[in-house]
Structure formats: C-alpha cells, structure tokens
Structure 1
Amino acid sequence: MFGWDSRKDEKNIITLLALCPSKYNRMKLFIVSLKNHIWIAAFLLLGIVQITAQDLYPKNEKIDVQDYIFNLTLNDDTDQIKGEAIIHVLFKEKEDSFELDLVGKSGIYGMEVTGVFESDKTAHYTFENNRITINPSTNDKGLKTFKVLYEGIPQRGLVIDKTKYGRRSFFGDNWPNLARHWLPSVDHPYDKASIQFGITAPEDYDVVATGEKIEESNLGNGLKLTVYKEPAPVAMKVVTIGVTKFATRLLDVVHNIPVTAWVYPENRLEGFSDYKVASKVLAYFIDNIGPYSFAKLANMQAKTQWGGLENAGTIAYFEDSVTGMNTVEDLIAHEIAHQWFGNSATENNWNHVWLSEGFATYFSILYMEHVYGDEKRKDALALDRKQVIDYYQQNPSPIVDLTIKDPMRVLSINSYQKGGWVLNMLRHKLGDNLFWKGIQDYYKTYQNANVLTVDFQKSMEKTSGENLESFFQQWLFTKGHPEIKWEWVYGNGQVKINLEQVQDHHTFHFPIEIGIVQDDEIKIVQVEVDEQSEVFEINVDTKPDTIVLDPDYWLLFEEK
C-alpha cells in the first residue's frame, strides 16, 4: 500500500496532494528524487502517541463469517446507494449475539438500516455507535444466514467522484478499515470471507470487482446487473468495485490466471502498455513463492486516495500511473506481491502489518533484481536505509510497535522500508536457497489464512534448522539499528579494524562484510559482531587503498 519511492508508490503518490487534509493531519509527505524517478515518497508521522493498547478491535472468535453477498444499486441522480448484504455466519460456539461494522447516518453521510433478517424472518438487532448488533433466534452452533438492508451516502470507502477526464465513477477504496462506510461487515483482517458483488447501475457503465465475472444482464429501463464472485477468503480491506467507463484488454493468461487492464478510454493504449508488465511480475511470483489465490488479476486505473491499493485480484493504481512511458513497473510489482503477502497470508493483527508492507517492499526489490540485476537491489536498499535512519531520529520505535492502536498509524518507514531490510538481512543470514525454501513453506502453510510474526519465524526456523529468536527480537521488536563508529589501521601485513556500537539502548548482534579495496579490486571478509566494542584483525598482502563496510548492502546500520 503506501511505501514511497518509485518502487513502492502504493498508497501515496502525487494523488495524496489532493486528499482531504483531515485524514493526514498527523502526517507529512516528503518527496525525494531518485535517478529516473521523481515520485519517491514516504510518510513521516509528526509524533508518536504514547499509549499502551494493541489493536483494539473487538474480535469475536466464536463466529466466523463464511461469505458475503453484497447487492448494490448505484445511480446517476444522487450519490445515495442502496444495499443488500447477505451474510453466512458460522457459529463455532454458542453465542447470543454478534456484530457488524457499519457507519451510521450523521448529517448527509452514513447509512440507515432499513431491515435485518435471519433467513426470511425479521431479526432482533440494534444499530448504534457504528455497530449493528444482531441477536440470532437461537444461540445454537452452526451456519446461519442474515440479511441487512441499508441505504445512504458513503463519506469514505466508496469514492464517488469524476475521473480526471470528467466521467462519473465509483471506486472501492477500503484500506485499512473503510469498508464499514458502505458495506456491513466484520471490518478487520482477522475474519476473512468469500465475496460476491452484484452491481446494478446505468447500462453505460463498465463494472469490475473482486472476483470472476459470472453474470452481466440487461435489466431494462436503462439498467444493467453485473455480478462478480471470489471464492477465496478475502479481508474487507482489499475488496473493491470499479464502476465507470473503461477500456479493457486481456493482457495475458499466466498459469490459467487471466491478467487484464481496466483503464480510461481516453488513455487506452498508454494504459495497456503500462500495465502489460503485470503478467511478467505475476509469473515471477508464482514460480518463486507458490500458487496465486484469486480468480483473476485485474489492473485498474482508478480514483484512489493511494498511489496503489492491492485489492485482491483487482488492483487499483492512481490515475496518473498511466503515461505510456512504462515507469510504474516497481509499483506494479509491489502491489502484485501483496496478493501473496497481505491478501492471502494476512496479518491477524494490525501491529504486524510489516508482514504485508515489508514483504511487498522487499519482494518488489527481488523482482527488480531478477530483471535488472543486483545493482538495482543495492540502489533500492541504499535509499531505504537512509530513510530508515532519518525516520528513526523522529520516531524511535520498533517495527512491531505494540503502542499503536490506530491502523492508519501502523503504516510508516518501519513497516515498509525497515521491514524490507529485515527480509534482506534474513536472506543474507540463511542464504538464497534456504531463504526461498522458507518463504515457500511459509506461504504454503498460511495461504488463505491469518498470520503473526511468530508464524513466519517458525516457518523460517523449520526450513533452516536455525534458532532465529534473537534475530527476530532485535530487528522486529527492538527499536533502532546498529550505529557504528569505526576506524582502521594497517601494519605488519594486517588490517586492524576498531568497531564500536555507539547506540546506548541495545547491543546488536550481526554479521558484517568488510570490503578490502586494492587496485580497483575488492576482497570481502565477513566478521561477526557480538560486543559493544570489538577489534578485528585481517591478514592482507599489502596496505589496502581503502576499507568499505558492507559494500553489498546486507546490513541495516548507520555509520557515525
């Protein structure tokens, strides 16, 4: 979703400049220029709220939503939508009530509930504080069906606006918890469910949504019904619809997955060209990680508050991503990586969102390395390392920060760039072969499920045979990074390196590569750092021209 350099322009590019200021009143957008790109961005929080809570969403583990059917009616006369939500709920234990999120009417915005039913009978319910509490007719275990009828004007979540070319449009934009503005649901990633959308709209609209298209019917009176169904379980943060005038093209079929482009007719050819690379990205991730979970991969030019939003199987890219110049390959790679990490293997708790964002950040780098070579990886990590260091000066916090309770605040340089750096260091620690085997085992184990950081750790330990507890603790649950002051001297056929960690809150343990440069050639020696201050002696033939720490970018550290 967010991260910001040209590689991870997800949820923030230039489109952010047009956002409602109130949404980001605690954030500052900075733009950095990188070689051929001018839209590298990152969000810096202007302060940290010191709280002690962790993901305060009231989870109900006694129930499990199996699937949603959302039937929506859209029109051109007003922004009001009419909705019918049919929800199949499995009661795993006896339970007297359960709750759905839906933002109630306040002023002109919000939803009014006009009826709630269990099967065909009126259900007992209350609707207050943006929660529908439903009392089933019995508290027995088993599968039960409920229906919610509602209508209103969504303030957020469903973006009803005009495209850059002036056409009316409707785009789902739910991340992180905005589905509740237009879809009654359990609006938290811990409870994923299959999704079906039935969209009734004026017949001149084209419709794309989460899932595979299973019906398109003219209803008469100028209306058309379009139905999409996604069998795989999906979190509400990444379900979507796109309703406007589109030009569409089948770009490719990869491992039986149709890859399509949905772009504005006015920039049809440019959009087809820019999004065509998605098929190559999809093939790389399927071949290296594992099977793709969703019915299709649609790439949609959209009205979105983000630079890109990784909706499951129907990715939204900001309107100006289409240029015809093929400059968004890294963004496309980031969003497609999310289909495995965040969408299929989904964080069970917002505080572990690095399992989504850090993975998408690093796997986009892995893809770019695969296509363009290792210098591309090093360039990306050099930029990310600088951003991590700069961010830490204002926000001294760990990646998994249990003080954060607002899901909007879990998105930061920590969850993106630092999370990606942790994976880079883990890859170096284990080696490419074990790293990829561990990733494949992790995904195979947790495909279409929910995860926490400990689950990823266990998968990597199982594959590698190593105890990774200290690695995960120091890089994910401990703030900061090694701050290294060092010097070297030569004498008697030896290079002596004095290395000191000057941060005072924690002594990190890590391997570091030392590059010994002589006559434009570099010899790399790796040493293990375990103490606050250490001296390393390396035998050499002649005095080096210079010494370089970490020449190949495998360690997240700050040189003092």
Structure 2
Amino acid sequence: MPEIDSKRFAKLFQRALAKGGSVAEADVSKLQDARRQITNAKEGAAADGLLSMLRHDCELDSFEVAPARKALGVLLGVSKGPLPVDLEKVLAGAVPQANVRVKHYDLAFDLSKDGAAFPARAIIHLERKAPQEAVLEANASRLHIGQVLVDGKPAPFEVRDNRVHVFAPGAKRLDIGYTIKPTTPGDSSYGLIHDKYSGRMWTMTWPYNTGALFPSNSAPADGATSSVTVKVADGKQVVAGGDLENGAFQLKANSPAYGIAFYVDPSFERCSPSSSAGAVEVSGFGAAGEGISADVRAGYLETARKAVDFYSQWLGRYEYGDSLRLVEISGGMGGMEHTGAVAIMTSTALSESYSKETAAHEVAHHWFGDNLRIKDWGDFWMSEGFTTYATHRFFKATDGDSRWCELWDRAKGEVQSALQYSPHALSAPAHTDVNEIFDSISYEMGGWMMRMIEAQLGTPEFDELIKGWYSKNKGKAVSTEGFIAFAKQTTGRDLAPFFKDWGHITAVPSFKADVTSRGSSVKVALRAQTPVPDGVLLPLRIEGEGGKTKTVMVDPAQPLTVDAGFEVTGWTWDPERTVLAYVD
C-alpha cells in the first residue's frame, strides 16, 4: 500500500494540470515540497520522475504520458488498468508534440523599427502533406500569430498550450504571419534577445525554445534547411549562418531548428577572416566594450580554422557553405553550435585557453549534433560525447600527447563528480528532458566511451568506423542502438555488452595497486575499490634505463608476475589514457 504522502503527491499533480498540459512554477514548487515528504524509495523515485517532466518546461508533453502513467501507478498502487478518471483526463490533456517534419524554413524578421514586438514571417515547407490537424511549437507569450495562409488563402488555426494547430489537411507549405516579442539578456534568456543599452540583438533557442522565435519543430531529430532574412535599421549589421544570397542567409544542409540563429549589432569588432584548406572562410564578430583582447580573438579564430581543416580531413567536408562565423554574445553557457554562425559567450572569450577549446568544440558540432543529429534527447551523449572526443583528438593533433592526456584526466575527474552527485545512464529514455542530463556524463563520459572503443579497435580501425558512421548517416538522426549495430556490421565487434556495462556505472572504477619489482621481475596485484565492468584490462608500462619499456595488460581479478627482460626502474599505469579508471 503506497504512503499517504505519495497519494497526496499524485493528487497535487492532478490539480496542477487540471486546466491543461501546462503548469505554473508555483505548482512545481508545491510538488517539490510534497516530494520531500515521501520516504519510500520506489515511490520517491516515481515522484522524481514526474518532477523531471515538469520542472524545466512547466508542461506535460504527450511523449511523456506513458512514463507519467507508470509513475502515477506506483504512487497510487495501480499496477494494471486505468488510473482514476481525473488523472486519465489530465494525461489526455498533455501538450502535443509537433507532428509534422519540416523540410525547409524560410524566415523573415523586420527589426528596423523600435517597438514592443517586431513583424515576422515563416514559410514552412513540410516533408509530407499535413495531417488533419498540423501542430507546431509557438510560444504564446512571445509570438502572436496573425494569420496562416495555404495556397494564398487563409487557413483556420488555433493557438493553445504554446502550440499552433493548423487545420489544412494535405498542405505542404504553411505561410505564417506573426509578431515576435524580444526579451532582455540573462543567463537563461531565450528566443529573440534585445540588449537595449548596446543595441545588440541575438537569438538563443536550444533546446526547446525554437517556438519562441518561429513556429517550428524543436525535436533534435527534425532536420531542415533554412533561409533567414533580417531587416535592420541603417548602421546595424546582421550575421547568421550559411551563404548570403540575395539578402538571405542560406543553410543548404540539414540542421536542427535550434541551430538556426542570427545576430544584430551596430558595432561588431571584426576579426580578419582566414580560409581553411577547404576554402571555408572563418571570420569573427566581436562584442565591443567587453574587454576581450584582439590576441585572444585571433587565437580562438585560428583554432576554429584549424578545426575545420582537421574535422574535414578526418570525417568529411564541412557541409554548411563556404563560411563559418564566430560571434560573441552574452549568456550562461560557454558557446552554442548555431549552424554556420557559432556563438562564443563573452565570458568564454575572456579566457585564451577556454575560448580555443570552446571554438574547437562548437566547430565539431557541425559534424556531430548539427549534421549527424540524434533521434531523441535521451541520446544526448551521441551529440556531446562524440563532439568531446573529436575536440580532444583535434588538440592531440595540434598540441601533442601531453594535452591529450591532460584533457582525458580532467574529463575523468568531471565524470567522477557527476556520478557522485547525479548519476544516470549514459543513454537515457527517449522522453528524458535534456536539462536533466546536461552534465559531464553526457559530455565527458560520452567522450571516454569513444576513447575506450578507440583503444579496443586501434586508432586506424576506429577512424574508419567513425568516418564510415558519419558518411553513411550525415543529414540523418541516429541512436546508440544504431551505432552499436553499425559497429558490429563494419568491424565484427559487438559493442552491446560494453555499452551495457559501462553505460550504467555509478562511479569511475577505482583500484588499489600493489606493485613490487626485483631486478627484471615485476609482481602486480589490483584490488577493486568500486564495482568494475566486465572485461576490464589495465595497461601497465614497465620502465627501465635507456628508455626501455614493456607494456602488459593487467586483469584486476588475476595477480600477475612478469619478466620485463631488463632491470626495472619504475612503472606507469595507463600512460595513453585508454581506460576510464583510477589506480592508486
């Protein structure tokens, strides 16, 4: 029988959503207070799951209904059959997903005159004919939709729960006229952001806020090409991604809707552009008055240029036209992979080392995340983990092995911290809110997974695997399961057990080592301090005078005695950083 407090939580959940799929922040706070009263572990986990669906976006989405029903069943002791009528009604009122896939966004914004809102237009070309009721995201507090045209004629529509519902079955193009309200700058600002003091404007919509800028499908799997036109007053400059043709910035390869962005500034500080080996012009647009030195800007811009060359040679050419722009803005993240026009936060640009690392990372997203998209946010690691690995490979090529080892050591510490404070599986359920897994497990653990696969296969075979994976799937959405299947098909290696074991660790494997030597003989024993995935072998490099070395693989379950063949003077565990583990 469930606790009284668990049933109370379910009742509060029902009341919060009684009027529709959206909830107020005050309701979320009440639910958090109620959760703290639940002592049963299983029921507490169910309440945590429900809170994770609401606390970031304040809405219950239709794709969250199945896990929400299961969690409510735990709280109420209902294992089979329907929930109470009031709760079933709440679940039926969940906010619907965007239900159309977009082929191309043609967007126009008129920012030429000051005002509380600006005119805008979105021509949305669909991949397939629209259903009876086409649904797109449209934040009602930011967008006021005035009309929807199909074939030049008005089409009926409704706006509710931050969605626009268009009733035009069979349509393949929707022309939507609207106005857009900007917001003020802040670490969590999204949509169209306007700094009235500097006159700057920019956009930020990752991950779920594309509907605050244009009617859209924000799902990471939905890739589209785009055209962006921005009208501004004299003296202001517009920067966006893609090739500038007839006044519009054109992205001719698919990217997620959140990759579409633009920037407006009356006083960009230009950095001298340079061209990559593939003739991609890499240029920078600095924010004036932020104290960022010209040398730092030149440094991260040169890093971006080199990164375009490195990733192009390793994986395949840059697909987003003949330009890549880096633009400084204020905000709460290090950078953002806006397609063809990367955002570099001004706080990041103050640091020579961090700005270079951010530039290399965001450039890598043009291969992993923008072009090779993910099927759902549960596989967020496939965007960030692949990108983290690619970034580290870039710095190994440019800065050498010491930087490579430094990056993996730092990553290991960040994984350890993330697992200690907020452990979760590497690949999460499809309905997962990405804000719940926006951490070093997705980024650094994901990168370490790639590093360990590289160590298993060897770098040449691994590179063929990654290049083949990218080549086959560019412009598409991918999953962990798809990668495992592709790896088995192309290399013969079944990585499923590896992902099962390592993808669910709750601490970085840690060992206490007992190593002794006499002459050329070395005795080794390892004692595990944490749970250890199956099949772990740790490399030990035995060292002697004159640069002599011998590397042996140590099974933690088996003590080892080895003759090095030379007088032993020392040893080093995992010198090439091939296993995510600590050895003391």
TM-score using structure 2 length: 0.77
1:91 aligns with 2:128: yes
| Cα offsets for 1:129-157 (capped at 9, x unmatched) | 00111121x3x4xx611122222414442
1:473-484 pair list within 5 angstroms: 473-484=500-511
Larger deviation, residues 450-459 vs 412-421: 450-459
1:256 corresponds to 2:279: yes
* 1:280 aligned partner, one-letter code: K
Structure 2 residue identity aligned to 1:162 = D
Identity of aligned residues (%): 19
- Structure 1's unaligned 5+ residue stretches are 1-21, 26-46, 217-226
Q: 2:46, 2:114 → 1: CA distance? A: 44
> Where in structure 2 are the equivalents of 1:332-411 lying within 5 Å?
332-402=359-429, 405-411=432-438
Partner residue of 2:140 out of 88, 104, 109:
104
More strand by share: 1
SS of residue paired to 1:72: strand
Q: Is the 8 A contact 1:247 1:264 kept in 2?
A: yes
Residue 73 in structure 1 maps to residue 101 in structure 2: no
Contact 2:375–2:477 under 8 Å retained in 1: yes
The letter for the 2-side match of 1:158 is: G
Q: Supply the AA of the counterpart residue of 1:239.
A: I
Cα deviation, 1:14-46, whole Å, max 9, x if unaligned, reads: xxxxxxxx9xx9xxxxxxxxxxxxxxxxxxxxx
Let me know the Cα RMSD of the aligned residues.
Answer: 3.1
For the 8 Å contact 1:345–1:448, the answer to whether it is kept is yes
Measured in 2, the distance between the counterparts of 1:396 and 1:417 equals: 13
User: In 2 relative to 1, CA 493–260 (structure 1 residues): closer, same or farther, beyond 3 Å?
Assistant: closer
The aligned amino acid for 1:74 is L
Aligned to 1:3: none
Judge which range, 60-69 or 50-59, deviates more: 50-59
| CA drift at 1:315 | 0.4
SS at match of 2:119: strand
Q: Deviations over 1:91-145 (max 9, x none)?
A: 26x832221101112xxxx222211222212112221000111121x3x4xx611
The higher-RCO structure (CA 8 Å, 6+ apart) is 1
- Contact 1:64–1:90 under 8 Å retained in 2: yes
Please identify, of 117-126 and 468-477, the stretch whose mean Cα deviation from structure 2 is larger. Answer: 468-477
Deviation at 1:260, TM superposition (A): 1.9
> 1:108-147, aligned counterparts within 5 Å?
110-136=142-168, 138=169, 140=170, 144-147=172-175
CA contact (8 A) 2:426 2:442 kept: yes
Q: Does 1:153 align with 2:181?
A: yes
Cα distance in 2 for residues equivalent to 1:128 and 1:193: 25
In 1, are the aligned partners of 2:241 and 2:324 still within 8 Å (CA)? Answer: no
Residue 213 of structure 2 corresponds to residue 182 of structure 1: yes
Alignment of 1:526 onto 2:563: no
* Structure 2 CA distance for partners of 1:520 and 1:423, relative to 1, 3 Å: farther
Inter-CA distance 79–278: structure 2 relative to 1 (3 Å threshold)? farther
- Within the candidate set 345, 355, 360, 1:328 is matched to 355
Question: Is the 2:182–2:194 contact (alpha carbons within 8 Å) kept by the matching residues of 1?
Answer: no
Q: CA deviation at 1:363?
A: 1.2
For 1:299, what is the secondary structure of its paired residue? strand
Q: Which amino acid is 2:158 matched to?
A: T
Alignment of 1:405-424 (within 5 A): 405-424=432-451
Give the drift of 1:288.
0.8
- The code of the aligned residue for 2:240 comes to A
CA shift, 1:197, in A, is 1.0
Distance 1:341 1:251, change over 3 A: same
Q: Higher mean Cα deviation, 52-61 or 430-439?
A: 52-61
In the alignment, structure 1 residue 162 sits paired with structure 2 residue 199: no
User: Over residues 448-495 of structure 1, what are the superposed CA-to-partner deviations in whole Å (9 max), with x where a residue is unaligned?
Assistant: 111111222233333323222222222234544423233234469643
311, 315, 320: which one pairs with 1:285?
A: 311
Call closer, same or farther: CA 1:425–1:66 in 2, change over 3 Å. same
> Offset of 1:397 from its aligned partner?
2.2
- Name the CA distance, whole Å, in 2 between partners of 1:325 and 1:389: 26
Q: Secondary structure at the match of 1:534?
A: coil
CA distance in structure 1 between the partners assigned to 2:344 and 2:249 by the alignment: 20
Provide closer, same or farther for how the CA distance between residues 525 and 269 of structure 1 changes in structure 2, counting only shifts above 3 A: closer
User: 1:230 is matched by which residue type in structure 2?
Assistant: L
Q: Does 1:558 align with 2:582?
A: yes
Residue type matched to 1:185 in 2? S
1:428 alignment partner AA: A
Kept in 2, the 8 Å contact 1:233–1:448? The answer is yes
Q: How many Å separate the matches in 1 of 2:546 and 2:276?
A: 47
Displacement of 1:326 in angstroms is 7.3
1:213 counterpart letter in structure 2: L
Following the alignment from structure 1 to structure 2, what is the Cα–Cα distance between the partners of residues 523 and 254?
Answer: 39
Query: Is 1:538 aligned to 2:562, yes or no?
Result: yes
Q: Give the C-alpha shift of residue 263 in structure 1.
A: 2.2
Residue 250 of structure 2 aligns to which amino acid in structure 1? K
Distance 2:421 2:332 in 1: 25
The aligned runs of 1:228-267 (5 Å cut-off) are: 228-245=249-266, 246-248=268-270, 249-264=272-287
In structure 2, give the amino acid aligned to 1:508.
Answer: D
Q: TM-score, normalised by structure 1?
A: 0.80
Structure 1 residue 272: deviation in Å? 4.6
Matched, 1:82 2:126: no
Partner of 1:51 in structure 2? 49
Q: Give the match's secondary structure for 1:148.
A: strand
Matched-pair contact (CA < 8 Å) for 1:304–1:316? no
1:213 to 244, 254, 257: 244
How far apart are residue 254 of structure 1 and its match? 3.7
Instruction: Tell me, yes or no, if the aligned pair for 1:189 and 1:235 is still in contact at 8 Å.
Output: yes
Say whether the 8 Å CA contact 2:283–2:325 is kept in structure 1: yes
- Matching residue's letter, 2:109: L
Instruction: Identify if the C-alpha distance between structure 1 residues 297 and 412 changes in structure 2 by more than 3 Å, giving closer, same or farther.
Output: same
Match of 2:466 among 432, 439, 457: 439
Deviation at 1:376, TM superposition (A): 0.8
Does residue 511 of the first structure (1) align with residue 537 of the second (2)?
A: yes
Sort the Cα spacing of 1:404 and 1:503 in 2 relative to 1 into closer, same or farther, 3 A.
farther
Give 1:437 deviation, angstroms. 0.6
Name the residue aligned to 1:196: 227
- Aligned-partner residue type, residue 332 of structure 1: A
Rg larger for? 2
Q: Aligned partners of 2:558 and 2:422: how far apart in 1?
A: 29
Partner-residue secondary structure (3-state), 1:85: strand
Residue identity matched to 2:151 = S
Moved over 4 A (4+): 52-62, 265-270, 320-327, 490-493, 519-522
Using the TM superposition, give the Cα deviation of residue 257 of structure 1 relative to its aligned residue in structure 2, in angstroms. 2.3
Distance 1:404 1:118 in 2: 33
Give the Cα separation in 2 of the matches to 1:480 and 1:324: 31
Contact persistence 2:276–2:309 (CA under 8 A): no
Shift of the 241–466 alpha-carbon distance from structure 1 to 2, 3 Å rule, reads same
| Conserved 8 A contact 1:104-1:112 | yes
